[in-house]
Chain A
Amino acid sequence: MRSEVLTLALLVGFCTWAFRVFPTRADLSALAPTGILARFLAATGPAAIATLFVASVMPWLQGGVALPMICGIAAVLAAYAGSRSVVAATLAGSAGYGFAVWGLAFLA
């Protein structure tokens, strides 16, 4: 492994590890449940997941909303409504997307 690649990996890896680890050790016991920081942290999770979902579909959206994506999203919604299972919904979404791609290729 070249030294510059190893150096880069170690620098970035150490900082990323520190970003993930040290904030978990913050003492949150003094936070009032309705305080500003407590409210901020409570909203961080939903905001983060919404952001990551949007960021993950944006490459598809920038090419126009395509049928496979609509099928994939619909499959996630239907599977989650029926099962309340994240695993089932994820697999259904992926399968829905794949089947739509296959269907379009078959019709073309």
Chain B
Amino acid sequence: MKTAAPSSTFLTGLAGALPIMLGYFPIAFSFGVAAVRAGLSPTEAAGLSVIIYAGASQFLALALIAGGAPVLVAAFTLIAMNLRHLLYGPALMKRAGPAARKRWALFWAFGLTDEVFGAALGALARGRQFSESYMFGLGIGAYAAWVSGTVLGAYAGGGALEGWPVLEAALGFMLPALFLALLLSIMSRAQVPVIAVAAAVTVLVTLIGSGTLGILAGMLAGAVTGMLRRITDAQ
């Protein structure tokens, strides 16, 4: 008997966003705090989260703004940092299959962050069917957590979690835990070389270059490994 694929409604997408929301909120809170400390107003901090919605580049934006970098130089640096997002759409749609609708991709793909991409891919790997409603649920949950976390952080200031160091530490480990769980959810024997090469190259390039370069190089090296491995297998 064939098992039916799990439903892919807006609400199941929202439920799938829960670990992302738990991970995003404290990081966005930290961003809000850091933004105000760097001299931005709460409105400016919220504006960066609402408009850019890309965590690592937002933190770098604070350093560039605080350091007085020219707008175009700062923009170019931040745009280069987000180039990895170019790979997510095609990888997701390839996994979703040729029948996948993308009529509203102009809107839901705005929320295709690292974590949303990983969660969507993991869900598809576990047998869930792709749907735009599911992507909206996943994306809106994550976006709401990011923006609300930023706003609260900007208004609360730096001392909000000082009395709760254990909670602060636990929340700080939420994103690594999420990435590891997502990795386990899509893990297969065939992907082990891809994962090993991606991890090794990320470490190496981060240590000798920078974190941004490390992420880009790790992703590309892993993807190329997957491509070459099957060529080798076929020979």
Q: Chain A residues in contact with chain B, CB under 8 A?
A: 1-2, 4-13, 15-17, 19-26, 28-29, 31, 34, 36, 38-58, 60, 68-69, 72-73, 75-77, 80, 84, 86-87, 89-95, 97-99, 101-102, 105
Contact = CB atoms under 8 A, between A and B. Distances in A.
Given A90-B174, A105-B166, A21 B202 contact: no
Contact of B170 (A9, A13, A15, A94): A94
B78 interface: yes
B231 to A, nearest CB: 8
B160 interface: no
A101 B166 contact: yes
Interface of B: 18-19, 22-23, 40-41, 43-44, 47-48, 51-54, 57, 61, 65, 71, 74-75, 78-79, 82-95, 98, 102, 105-106, 109-112, 114-115, 117-119, 121-122, 165-167, 169-187, 191, 194-195, 197-199, 202-203, 206, 211, 214-215, 218-227, 230-231, 234
Contacts of A91: 19, 22, 177
Contacts of A23: 86-90
